[in-house]
Amino acid sequence: MEGSDWGGGDESDEEVEIKDIPSLMNIVRKARLDREKIEAVLRFVEDGGEEIAYLAEKVETSSLDWDLRGSC
């Protein structure tokens, strides 16, 4: 994901694999821009494997926390 800065240590965001819901939620909470949140979700869809099945459930319970304002 070009230009993202999820605040996650020494690894570049291109190397970060988001394979589980807790990792995704941690990155989304740290993301400063809505674009970064969207990129994290897209990365999770690519890397998440079977965990993707739980994404809809988690989004329903967390959508109020995400506060997407169209700043993409």
Cα–Cα separations (whole angstroms), residue 20 to 3, 44, 61, 69: 22, 8, 16, 25
Tell whether the torsion through CA atoms of 59, 16, 1 and 30 is positive or negative: positive
Higher-confidence residue of 34 and 2: namely 34
Residue pair 68/37 in contact (Cβ under 8 Å)? The answer is yes
- In this predicted model, what pLDDT tens digit does every residue of 3-34 receive, in sequence order? 555 555 545 556 778 889 889 889 988 999 98
Domains in the chain: boundaries: 21-63
In the predicted structure, residue 1 carries a pLDDT above the cut 50 = no
Residue count of the chain: 72
